[in-house]
Amino acid sequence: MTWIAIGLFLGLALLGMPLAFSIGVGALAGIWLLDFDWVVLPQRMMHAVNSFPLMAIPLFMLAGELMVRAGIMDRLISFANSMVGRVHGGLAHVTITSGTIFASVSGAAVASASAMGSTLVPSMRKYYPDAYSSAVITAAANLGPVIPPSNAMIVYALMAGSSVSVGGLFLSGIVPGILLAISFMGIASWISWRRGYPLTGKKFNLRNVLQQARQAIVIILMPVIVVGGIVGGVFTATEGAAIAVVYSAFIGFFVTRQLKIADLPACFFKAAVTSSMVGALIAFASVMTFIFTIEMVPVMLSQFIQSLTADPMTFILLTMALLIVVGMLIESNAAYIMLVPLFAPVALTYGIDPLYFGFLFMYNLVVGMMTPPVGVLYFVMCGITKVPMAQLVKESLPFVACQFLLLALCIVFPSIVTGLPRLMGY
């Protein structure tokens, strides 16, 4: 019966029905086939979304919207340009550096892509082809879920239960995020040198760097306060997200003075729309997860995988290979919600560090945001820049390969992921 529900969900999703509703239809079919009381549906849905930790997602979304309206991108771009503007691929480096800093504010790739796309595309078009500019912005935006605070990590921790903490996952993304940003900059330099793109920006001047840093310091302090407070146990992820909203509003109203009262309804609306999509996925998927649990699917999956291999590393490799395929076909939030309750318990039976497995799981699906045919970031960037999808995908291939290379390094060298969390007591 469960497989009929799963097949219905996948079939409707492939036909183009929104994932939240295709999961919902599959859940309804499962309830009907198993002859459950229909009251299970609203009860499970309300139980799933009535969660204090889940409130962090709309709050971080709102903080990101407020920061965009506050005009922080101009300050971040000026700061980044003062440091890395005058090298091969300087403007691409500015984009990647800005994306790294903005990632520590927004927590979401789509928000980063929207903010950087609308701000940086006009400047980049003067020096680079549109497809390459879009590829650089897409890669920089994909740092959003890796560098904390990360909405993807919050969703993973929520679905995995008590086996992993949000603070630990946040710390696990810092070193890989920095390595990824540096790798992107190396690729941008090589491509710019090879293609003969012109140098941009002014020569490095320490006085100018300090001046721009003074302008950007209030923005850079936000992730330090929010992530530091969450990791240090001063407040929870939800409380940290609320602090981020207040901090963003303060910057917009009193520092940059570009945020107006009239801007607030639009910020609330955009944050609500994005968050409601995640909430709907979680609500409907909770019913499907309940059906999986009743039908003993996690236990059967665990027994099946253990019959294939008793080696933890082989299990990790099999899971990562599966997630690469899943990331190409299913939107990442839906994948977290559907698959984490299945695979996280199995990983524990193999004795795999839940923090290590959680980051690998999350990061693999983050890369999926840049793998066709369901590469969400490609659709966002094509909508902003009007670049043909095929050209954008082609220019993005070096950055996608770089992300998969980092995934391989994290699998082979777990300390890249777990070193900093363990140092901080997680």
Contacts with 207 (C-beta within 8 Å, 6 or more apart), sequence order: none
User: Could you tell me the two tokens for 275?
Assistant: 């968050």
Cα 230–Cα 232–Cα 235 angle in degrees, nearest 5: 45
When divided into structural domains, the chain yields a total of 1
Query: What Å distances lie between residue 41 and 11, 37, 375, CA to CA?
Result: 21, 8, 31
95-141 tens-digit pLDDT: 888 788 777 777 777 777 777 777 777 777 777 888 898 899 899 88
Q: What is the pLDDT of residue 179?
A: 94
Is this model's pTM higher than 0.85 or not? no
Cα 97–Cα 385–Cα 407 angle in degrees, nearest 5: 45
Q: What is the pLDDT of residue 296?
A: 67
CA distance 256 to 259: 8
Q: What are phi and psi of 401, to 5 degrees?
A: -60, -40
User: Could you tell me the two tokens for 2?
Assistant: 């469960």
- CB burial of residue 317 (10 Å; 0-12, 13-18, 19+): middle
Q: What is the pLDDT of residue 3?
A: 66
Tokens 């007591």 appear where?
A: 425
Peptide bond into 149 cis (omega under 30): yes
Q: What is the DSSP string of 78-129?
A: HHHHHHHSSSTTHHHHHHHHHHHHHHHHH--HHHHHHHHHHHHHHHHTTTS-
User: Could you tell me the two tokens for 415?
Assistant: 């300390």
Query: What Å distances lie between residue 19 and 57, 114, 126, 205, 291, CA to CA?
Result: 19, 22, 39, 50, 18
- HSE-CB at 93 with a 13 A cutoff on CA atoms is 24
Q: What is the dihedral of CA 376, 377, 380, 381, to 10 degrees?
A: -150
- Taking Cα atoms as reference points, which of 108, 110, 114, 74 lies closest to residue 94? 74
- HSE-CB at 419 with a 13 A cutoff on CA atoms is 8
Q: Which residues of the chain have pLDDT under 50?
A: none
Q: Is the Cβ–Cβ distance between 93 and 84 less than 8 Å?
A: yes
Q: What is the DSSP-derived secondary structure letter of residue 252? A: I
401: amino acid identity, one letter: A
CA distance 322 to 3: 18
CA distance 356 to 110: 25
- Taking Cα atoms as reference points, which of 99, 114, 143 lies closest to residue 366? 143
Q: What is the DSSP string of 30-65?
A: HHHHTT--TTHHHHHHHHHH--TGGGHHHHHHHHHH
- Other beta carbons within 10 angstroms of residue 309's beta carbon come to 13
CA distance 125 to 216: 25
User: Could you tell me the two tokens for 210?
Assistant: 């300090």
Q: What is the pLDDT of residue 129?
A: 87
**Domain of 6, in residue numbers:** 2-423
